[in-house]
């Protein structure tokens, strides 16, 4: 059911945005008296789910949900209608119009997507307001990724300003360091000392490569083990990353000692995997594999254990625990827990990512009362919504630099990744916020100078306007084909990443 709700939200969001994008092309074309032969939501190779001709335009819904299109008369596009292009030029055709008019038609969809994204932000801010949490109001400071200790930052410190601007939400700190090229911090240390720290150029790539994000967060005391989750895939025993152990041989985990499992004739795990529950049979000689993917459970930790020390360092906040594990990567850590009033210490192998393979029972952040709900008048919503739209565009463009790294290329996602932006329950505020984000992403992606995208057509039109010469039709046709194959390759790669992560983790 969770999958269906996410899929429904994604389909509705994309349908709205595709239709509005194509209307941007349609309306500008009709304004310049250019004939639009087809207007389709989704693609319709071989057949259509629905179609109806109204006037000169066939309106329809295709069966292949990969976008949509308008077929404009006299234009080299995805239809590759060479027969039409071989006929004499007609006054209602795209190719008969001045280059500046054709340029407006081509950027019409991008402009609409950008405007729609900003408008959605305006109305979301007006309808629901906004949550802010100024770092100057935090009493416990911030949870800071231990990687940043090399630069004089650690959990409990408070970052009051970045580039001399007050921090209105702690998430802006991570965005500032990773995508906004911001390096200058005003830091209030736990002892009350104020210090200015200037991070080096290249900190964005360094943090990204190290996987040290989120860079900051709110501190909390979630130190009681809730359940055990696999830290990696193991095809030998049929475990996938994220699988949670529910029972062993129909017995509660806390009634079982891992070291005694080899005495059983067979070990049957009941596993929770996303929405499903399934059984996995483990052979005695495969128990070592089980201990590797569930290192905390294999070391003897139990559900309900409250972590109080790691390597003799007291654990008060969750970041005390995660910091110690970070410095114990690929080593064993002495984890002391409180179990039914008794202190017990186990030696647990820490993964290269600083994990032990369990989730804690979530508790509210210490500074939950520092949240401020801000309501906006409609006039103020316009300014705030525009600002959020431009920041979203800027941040998205800023993070594209990571695509050209090995880690970034493997992180590219397709429809699965986009679908996971949506929650498993329908929430209109989150739906519209995600729709605004996707709309702005579509605007930017479509204006990229890739043949077959709007930006590719724009490049040829700009060439014509500068040189006074149209690009040869053969060049446009070949560019359209090359662009199509580039887009298909990117689509297959991105969705292939989704499939790989679904089956093999990562």
| CATH number of the domain bearing residue 278 | 2.30.42
Single residue among 218, 240, 263 that ends a domain in this structure: 218
Residue 32 confidence (pLDDT) above 90 = yes
Report the pLDDT value the prediction gives residue 50, as an integer from 0 to 100. Answer: 92
- Say yes or no: 351 and 247 in one domain: yes
Question: What value does the mean pLDDT take over residues 304-309?
Answer: 96
Report the pLDDT value the prediction gives residue 75, as an integer from 0 to 100. Answer: 80
Residue 320 sits at the vertex; the CA angle it makes with 296 and 175, to the nearest 5 degrees, is 105
Report the pLDDT value the prediction gives residue 498, as an integer from 0 to 100. Answer: 55
SS3 content of the chain, % helix, strand, coil (to 5): 45, 20, 30
Report the pLDDT value the prediction gives residue 495, as an integer from 0 to 100. Answer: 60
Report the pLDDT value the prediction gives residue 274, as an integer from 0 to 100. Answer: 78
Residue 237 confidence (pLDDT) above 70 = yes
In the three-class reduction of DSSP (H, G, I as helix; E, B as strand; rest coil), residue 101 is classed as: helix
Is position 372 within any domain?
Answer: no
CA–CA separation, 58 and 70 (whole Å): 10
Greatest pairwise CA separation for the chain in angstroms: 90
Question: What value does the mean pLDDT take over residues 358-381?
Answer: 94
CA–CA separation, 39 and 483 (whole Å): 21
- Say yes or no: 354 and 268 in one domain: yes
* Residue located via tokens 């910091």: 323
Is position 377 within any domain?
Answer: no
In the three-class reduction of DSSP (H, G, I as helix; E, B as strand; rest coil), residue 310 is classed as: strand
DSSP assignment of 131-184 equals EE--GGG-SS-EEE-GGGGGGT--BTBEEEEETTEE-SSTHHHHHHHHTS---E
- Say yes or no: 105 and 188 in one domain: no
Report the pLDDT value the prediction gives residue 358, as an integer from 0 to 100. Answer: 95
Report the pLDDT value the prediction gives residue 401, as an integer from 0 to 100. Answer: 86
In the three-class reduction of DSSP (H, G, I as helix; E, B as strand; rest coil), residue 455 is classed as: helix
Single residue among 218, 239, 260 that ends a domain in this structure: 218
Structural domain count of the chain: 3
20 pLDDT band, cuts 50/70/90, is very high
Lowest-pLDDT choice from 141-150, 204-213, 258-267: 258-267
CA–CA separation, 298 and 288 (whole Å): 9
Tell me the CA end-to-end span of the chain in Å, nearest whole number: 24
Report the pLDDT value the prediction gives residue 187, as an integer from 0 to 100. Answer: 96
Report the pLDDT value the prediction gives residue 118, as an integer from 0 to 100. Answer: 97
Query: Domain residues for 77?
Result: 2-127+417-504
Q: String of b and e for 48-73 (b: at least 16 CB within 10 Å)?
A: beeeeeeeebbbbebeebebbbbbbb
Give the list of residues 6+ apart from residue 450 with CB closer than 8 angstroms, or none.
Answer: 456, 483, 486, 487
- Say yes or no: 243 and 143 in one domain: no
Assigned token pair, 176: 């500032």
Residue 417 confidence (pLDDT) above 80 = no
Question: What value does the mean pLDDT take over residues 13-18?
Answer: 94
Confirm if 184 and 200 have CB atoms less than 8 A apart: no
- Say yes or no: 165 and 40 in one domain: no
- Say yes or no: 214 and 232 in one domain: no
Is position 381 within any domain?
Answer: no
CA–CA separation, 63 and 38 (whole Å): 15
Q: What is the pLDDT of residues 189-209, one digit of tens each?
A: 999 999 999 999 999 999 998
Burial class for 198, CB neighbours closer than 10 Å (0-12, 13-18, 19+): exposed
- The number of C-alpha atoms within 13 Å of 406 and in the hemisphere containing its C-beta is 3
Report the pLDDT value the prediction gives residue 503, as an integer from 0 to 100. Answer: 54
Residue 500 confidence (pLDDT) above 90 = no
- Say yes or no: 450 and 348 in one domain: no
Is position 411 within any domain?
Answer: no
- Say yes or no: 268 and 303 in one domain: yes
Q: What is the pLDDT of residues 115-130, one digit of tens each?
A: 999 999 999 999 999 9
Q: String of b and e for 298-315 (b: at least 16 CB within 10 Å)?
A: bbbbbbebebbbbeeeeb
Q: What are phi and psi of 217, to 5 degrees?
A: -160, -175
In 75-128, alpha helices (H): 82-85, 99-128
2 pLDDT band, cuts 50/70/90, is confident
Is position 409 within any domain?
Answer: no
Report the pLDDT value the prediction gives residue 316, as an integer from 0 to 100. Answer: 96
Question: What value does the mean pLDDT take over residues 381-403?
Answer: 92
- Say yes or no: 94 and 179 in one domain: no
Residue 506 confidence (pLDDT) above 70 = no
Is position 398 within any domain?
Answer: no
Confirm if 372 and 132 have CB atoms less than 8 A apart: yes
Is position 267 within any domain?
Answer: yes
Confirm if 339 and 369 have CB atoms less than 8 A apart: no
Confirm if 270 and 248 have CB atoms less than 8 A apart: yes
- Say yes or no: 234 and 210 in one domain: no
101 pLDDT band, cuts 50/70/90, is very high
pLDDT over 90 percentage in the chain? 64
Q: String of b and e for 278-295 (b: at least 16 CB within 10 Å)?
A: eebebeeebbebbbbbbb
- Say yes or no: 230 and 350 in one domain: yes
Helix 171-178 vs helix 378-399: crossing angle, to nearest 10: 40
Q: What is the pLDDT of residues 461-492, one digit of tens each?
A: 898 899 888 877 777 777 777 777 777 777 67
Assigned token pair, 11: 């389909």
Report the pLDDT value the prediction gives residue 365, as an integer from 0 to 100. Answer: 94
Please name the helix (run of DSSP H) or strand (run of DSSP E) that holds residue 65, with its range, or none: strand 64-72
pLDDT over 70 percentage in the chain? 92
- Say yes or no: 111 and 91 in one domain: yes
188 pLDDT band, cuts 50/70/90, is very high
Confirm if 104 and 28 have CB atoms less than 8 A apart: yes
DSSP tag of 1: -
pTM for this prediction: 0.84
Q: What are phi and psi of 269, to 5 degrees?
A: -95, 135
Residue 404 confidence (pLDDT) above 80 = no
CA–CA separation, 75 and 84 (whole Å): 9
Confirm if 157 and 144 have CB atoms less than 8 A apart: yes
Report the pLDDT value the prediction gives residue 66, as an integer from 0 to 100. Answer: 79
Is position 263 within any domain?
Answer: yes
Single residue among 191, 218, 245 that ends a domain in this structure: 218
């Amino acid at each position: 059911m969770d999958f269906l709700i996410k899929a429904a939200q994604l389909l509705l969001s994309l349908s709205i945005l595709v239709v509005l994008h194509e209307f941007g092309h349609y309306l500008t074309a009709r304004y310049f008296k250019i004939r639009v032969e087809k207007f389709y939501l989704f693609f319709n190779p071989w057949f259509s789910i629905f179609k109806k001709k109204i006037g000169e335009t066939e309106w329809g819904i295709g069966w292949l949900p990969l976008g949509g299109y308008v077929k404009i008369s006299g234009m080299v596009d995805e239809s590759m209608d060479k027969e039409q292009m071989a006929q004499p030029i007609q006054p209602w055709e795209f190719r008969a119009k001045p280059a500046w008019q054709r340029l407006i038609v081509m950027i019409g969809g991008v402009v609409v997507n950008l405007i729609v994204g900003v408008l959605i932000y305006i109305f979301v801010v007006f309808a629901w307001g906004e949550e802010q949490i100024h770092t100057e109001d935090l009493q416990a400071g911030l949870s800071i990724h231990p990687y940043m200790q090399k630069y004089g930052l650690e959990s409990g410190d408070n970052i009051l300003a970045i580039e001399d601007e007050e921090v209105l939400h702690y998430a802006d700190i991570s965005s500032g360091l990773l995508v906004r090229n911001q390096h200058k911090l005003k830091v209030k240390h736990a002892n009350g000392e104020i210090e200015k720290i200037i991070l080096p150029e290249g900190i964005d790539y360094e943090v990204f490569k190290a996987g040290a994000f989120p860079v900051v967060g709110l501190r909390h005391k979630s130190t009681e083990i809730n359940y055990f989750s696999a830290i990696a895939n193991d095809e030998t025993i049929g475990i996938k990353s994220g699988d949670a152990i529910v029972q062993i041989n129909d017995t509660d985990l806390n009634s079982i000692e891992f070291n005694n499992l080899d005495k059983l004739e067979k070990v049957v795990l009941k596993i929770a995997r996303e929405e499903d529950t399934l059984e996995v049979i483990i052979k005695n000689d495969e128990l070592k594999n089980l201990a590797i993917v569930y290192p905390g459970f294999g070391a003897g930790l139990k559900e309900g254990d409250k972590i109080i020390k790691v390597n003799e360092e007291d654990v008060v906040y969750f970041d005390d625990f995660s910091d110690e594990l970070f410095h114990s990567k690929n080593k064993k850590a002495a984890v002391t827990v409180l179990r039914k009033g008794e202190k017990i210490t186990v030696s647990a192998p820490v993964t290269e990512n600083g994990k032990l393979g369990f989730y804690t029972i979530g508790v509210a952040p210490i500074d939950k009362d520092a949240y401020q709900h801000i309501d906006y008048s409609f006039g103020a919503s316009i300014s705030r919504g525009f600002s959020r739209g431009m920041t979203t565009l800027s941040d998205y463009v800023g993070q594209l630099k990571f695509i050209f790294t090995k880690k970034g290329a493997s992180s590219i996602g397709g429809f699965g990744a986009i679908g996971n932006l949506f929650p498993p329950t329908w929430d209109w505020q989150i739906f519209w916020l995600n729709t605004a984000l996707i709309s702005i992403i579509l605007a930017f992606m479509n204006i990229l100078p890739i043949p077959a995208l709007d930006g590719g057509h724009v490049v040829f039109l700009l060439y014509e306007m500068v040189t006074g010469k149209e690009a040869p039709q053969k060049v446009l046709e070949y560019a359209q084909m090359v662009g199509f194959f580039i887009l298909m390759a990117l689509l297959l790669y991105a969705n292939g990443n989704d499939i790989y992560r679904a089956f093999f983790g990562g």
